[in-house]
Amino acid sequence: MARSMTGFGKAVVENDGEVITVEVSTVNHRYLDCSVRTPSAWSALEPLIKQTVRDRVSRGKIQISVNRKRAGMSNKAIHFDEEIAKQYVTAASELNRLLNSQEGLSLNVLAQLEGVFYYEELTEDIDRIRDIVVGVINDSLSQLDTMRCNEGDALARDVRTRVDLMRKTLAELEEQLPRLSGQYEARLRSRIEDLKGDTNLTEERIAMEVALLAEKADVTEEVVRLKTHLDHMLELLDQDGPIGRQLDFLSQEIQREVNTLGVKTREGGVTKEVLTLKGELEKIREQVQNIE
């Protein structure tokens, strides 16, 4: 089953008076690129979170946000720094003396000065919270996977439709191969007559020229390879696991064959078919870029 690299998942769990929320979003990326944002007290869990993601996702740019909200007591303690407060009072007194002022430093102003009051997160038992966080991460990844599967199925259906159209176009082109062969044969005979008129050419040179022209004109191999590649693409779409890179490589191979076909049939009156193949392939390549 094809999976899209774009998706979103969210999971929430309540534990010991707090709510833990995990949001996971993914976009296209050539490789797996995972970034994690957690509360500072849980930063030690980041390697484990990334490994959990790697076990379930193979490609894409992934952003994971882990948030916590306590229903009751906060996990932060407020502290008063007496030494800092004394330094502010002393500095204010010196400034009053310098300016010959009697204005004092009010409590309201002192309390808002940096460092007088500060927050400190309470120490937590990481071992206690580890399994809970990993569990909610997996729940969010499951939601993400559902969305990616749904979008991947839509992408695969579109690719299959375009592959079928390319196969029909190839079949129409194959019907014209006898006519193309007749044109090539006429050109070949004309070329041979021209070569015979040149008395400086040897039989070996004539044979080389004839072989070269015949090779340039025949498109049978390209048509056969294209049909094989398109069949392989349909087989990949039915496989489980990551297939995006394989589809991308295969689409490049198809592109080369279509380009060669276009060059060889430039004078054969099949421009419409070649343009159809190129147009559908371009749309396939766009869709493949979204598949994991």
pTM of the model: 0.69
pLDDT at 282: 96
Q: Are 102 and 68 in contact (CB under 8 A)?
A: no
Contact 118, 84 (CB under 8 A): no
pLDDT of residue 246: 95
β-pair type (32-37, 60-70) = parallel
pLDDT computed for residue 186 by the predictor:
67
What is the enclosing helix (H) or strand (E) of 221?
Answer: helix 220-237
Is the separation of the CB atoms in 38 and 121 below 8 Å? no
Nearest to 226 by CA among 267, 179, 274: 274
Task: Return averaged pLDDT per consecutive 10 residues of the chain, 292 residues in all.
Answer: 92 88 94 92 92 94 92 66 90 86 83 82 72 94 95 96 96 80 67 66 62 64 92 93 94 94 75 92 95 94
CA distance 284 to 159: 6
pLDDT of res. 248: 95
Token output for 210? 């004839």
Contact 92, 104 (CB under 8 A): yes
According to the 3-state scheme, what is the secondary structure of 24-80?
EEEECCCCEEEEEECCHHHHHHHHHHHHHHHCCCCCEEEEEEEEEEECCCCCEEEEE
pLDDT given for residue 101 in this prediction: 84
d(CA 216, CA 261): 10
